[in-house]
A = this chain, B = another copy of it.
C-alpha cells in the first residue's frame, strides 16, 4: 500500500506547477491502477475539479459503471464534503489517505455510517509540501 501512496503523492507535483493545492488521487481495482488525477481547480477554472472527483469520473468511464464498490481510492489529503459525497455516491468501500484535514475534511465523519474502511499512511515529506504551499502561496 505504501508504494501506491508514494505514487499518489508524486502526482501532486503537477498540481503544484499550476499553483493548485497539491492533492493527488488514484483508484485501484484488483491491485491495478485504473485512474489517476490531481487537483486541477485553477488549471481548469472548475470549482468541482478536485483530484478525487476527476479520478472517480475517469474510473467510472473506464469501467462503464457508476458503482466502484470493488475499488480502493488513494488520496493524499482527507476528502472534503463534496469528494466524500462523491465517494459515497460511487460506492467506494476503501479509502487510503495520507493526511487528515481537520478544517475541511469530511470523510472520517461519514466513514462509519457509510461502511467505508479508512486507512492512513502518513508521509512527513508530503505534510511539509502541503504546509510550504500554504505558507508561500496563500
Interface residues of A (CB under 8 A from B): 41-42, 44-49, 53, 56-57, 60-61, 63-68, 80-82, 84-86, 88-91, 106
Return the contact of A45 from the options B65, B80, B81 (Cβ within 8 A).
B65
**Extra contacts besides A46-B61, A47-B56 (16): CB < 8 Å:** A42-B66, A44-B61, A45-B60, A45-B61, A45-B65, A46-B57, A46-B60, A47-B67, A47-B86, A48-B48, A48-B56, A48-B89, A82-B82, A82-B86, A82-B89, A85-B106
Bound-state CA distance A61–B47 (Å) is 10
Distance in angstroms from A103 CB to nearest chain B CB is 14
| Chain B contacts for A80, CB-based, 8 A | 85, 89
For residue A65, which residue of chain B has the nearest CB? B45
Distance in angstroms from A83 CB to nearest chain B CB is 8
| Chain B contacts for A85, CB-based, 8 A | 80-82, 85, 106
Distance in angstroms from A7 CB to nearest chain B CB is 23
Bound-state CA distance A68–B48 (Å) is 12
Assess whether B45 is in contact with A64, with CB atoms less than 8 Å apart: yes
Bound-state CA distance A82–B92 (Å) is 15
Bound-state CA distance A91–B47 (Å) is 9
